[in-house]
Amino acid sequence: MFGALDAASSGVRLGRTWLDSISDNVANSNTVRPAGEEPYRARLVVARSLPGTEGVGVEGIQEQGGQPEVVYDPDNPLADGDGYVTRPVVDMASEMTNMLVAQRLYQANLSVITAAREAYQAALGIGK
């Protein structure tokens, strides 16, 4: 009877985790490091279905792979002796797209919770 609420609440939790990860990525999209140091890498949420339920959960968080961009910026206080800094590995276009999808996921699951709650309350009111 409460399967819809369980599935939707797991979707809300996944959406919240995903949105938190995206906000961290966007906030660090301009965080540079001295050349040669490991840059900030976008964090990617890995989802999985929960066994024995209709819900989803977070399996883990992975960091974005790929080569970081090293740019010449001698005026940056973090520049190395040659004037280079390492840019973060964050693709803003992907982050914005993911933000829209995660927001829709979150909103859709909240709508299911609201509709299920109203249906359960209406069923309880029948006996009055």
Any idea what DSSP says for residue 67? P
pLDDT, residue 1, reads 54
CA separation, residue 11 to residues 17, 49, 102, 113 (Å): 10, 10, 10, 10
pLDDT in tens, the chain (128 residues): 578 888 999 999 999 999 999 999 999 999 999 988 899 999 999 999 988 888 899 999 999 999 999 999 999 999 999 999 999 999 999 999 999 999 999 999 999 999 988 888 888 888 77
Question: Angle at the Cα of 54 (from 62 to 58), degrees rounded to 5?
Answer: 15
Q: Which helix (H) or strand (E) holds 1?
A: none
Q: What is the CA 38 to chain-centroid distance, rounded?
A: 22
